[in-house]
Structure 1
């Protein structure tokens, strides 16, 4: 049961976050059913599902349920999405996808012992966790803090292109690693080091909004990485 759940979650993370460019998401929101990227997105999901399920024909019903439901959920999201409700719809969208996955796992539970396939549970769990802590967390953070408008061009001439995004990804990977290794002191050291480096820039900027924006982003980033790390440890013990 847990093995199938991990596989389906991994396919979802790959299709919905890792291999869905922002360009595709915006095009789907604008053109809805007429967006070619809606169908490219479904194709990516289909391939990801086939790979993680190891092309096992016993899972044909699960494949059909997930792909068809994904289509209708994404179309509904595009139809009702506005700037004001984007965060709520993002949460509902993910909840709907996860509910379908949970339903599929529940349906297949009585038959799982009869389905023969090679399981790489630990590797699949680690892969899903790394995707969640990098690209998935980046999108979640962007969705949460998008309600605050900060001048993104301010100081851009003194910053490397996309440096903030890469720093955030590395930061969360380190936190995830420290949680898995139970090295809590490392998280404290990382947070302290970031605070020291950031303090000079923020104190010189004299911009209260920017200070609060960075603080909120840092706390969300650390919180997500710690949560994913703890979930990884809990699930890994049960495999």
Structure 2
């Protein structure tokens, strides 16, 4: 049940931070004195509270403890985040690491949390397989959406060397699509397809030109591409690791080891 609780907690966190949080809200809760940031922080906590209530409805002592611990720690971490110093990548990773440590600690401390949810009390087959679905969606958000923030923070110091021209936010869209494809390829047991994806992107992105400016642009694209691919591969295999501890949902194409109770 640890894996089931972890899948639900992770999905609630990832959806709250990377799907249902706008850029405007993120900026408002991270800039200025705490009193000015409180309304945005409160709205953000409200989103997380709703997600927890929907994904992990456990109206008992364990559920109440998890609910309060998640929201209180999330508020505290987000309130203190502006005090962190360092590059954008270091601040981002430190913030997320703190959230994930709380989530993992709760899943380990309250291993029967999922068993006490209203989902399990329905005694339906759906409750058995919901954590597997949660893990798949969480893995997709981690790979595609959160990956965009990680790569963006990594590339921020190199932004002045970014290639000029092209479609607005075209590079971001390409990154989202390539990470999504890598996630699907690995989960369907076709990791060799990543090589063809790298070759196709290389052919389409690079021209036979010289000069220092063009070389810098090429290096910028190569660094971003390798970072994006590396992140997607790592997250896809982490997802497979979590899925290996959950009941299979009956999709033969998924390269997931058989679950052993």
**Aligned match of 1:9:** 10
**Aligned match of 2:132:** 122
Deviation of 1:149 after TM superposition, in Å, equals: 2.9
Contact 1:150 1:210 in 2 (8 A): no
Give the secondary structure class of the aligned counterpart of 2:8: helix
Contact 1:32 1:75 in 2 (8 A): no
Aligned structure 1 segments of 4 or more residues deviating by more than 4 angstroms? 110-116, 201-206
CA RMSD of aligned residues (A): 2.2
Contact 1:202 1:211 in 2 (8 A): no
Alignment of 1:196-207 (within 5 A): 196-200=203-207, 206-207=213-214
State how far apart, in whole Å, the 1-side matches of 2:29 and 2:137 are. Answer: 27
Unaligned runs of 5+ in 1: none
What is the aligned counterpart of 2:77 among 66, 73, 76?
A: 73
Q: Deviations over 1:34-65 (max 9, x none)?
A: 22222111111111111110x32121110000
State how far apart, in whole Å, the 2-side matches of 1:45 and 1:139 are. Answer: 19
Cα distance change, pair 136–165 in 1 and its aligned pair in 2 (3 A): same
What's the TM-score, normalizing by structure 2?
0.81
1:209 and 2:216 correspond: yes
Deviation of 1:224 after TM superposition, in Å, equals: 1.2
Deviation of 1:234 after TM superposition, in Å, equals: 2.0
1:64 and 2:68 correspond: yes
Unaligned runs of 5+ in 2: 121-126, 247-261
What's the TM-score, normalizing by structure 1?
0.88
Q: How many residues align?
A: 233
Cα distance change, pair 236–112 in 1 and its aligned pair in 2 (3 A): closer
**Aligned match of 1:99:** 101
Deviation of 1:152 after TM superposition, in Å, equals: 5.8
- Answer 1 or 2: which has greater helix percent: 1
State how far apart, in whole Å, the 2-side matches of 1:23 and 1:41 are. Answer: 12
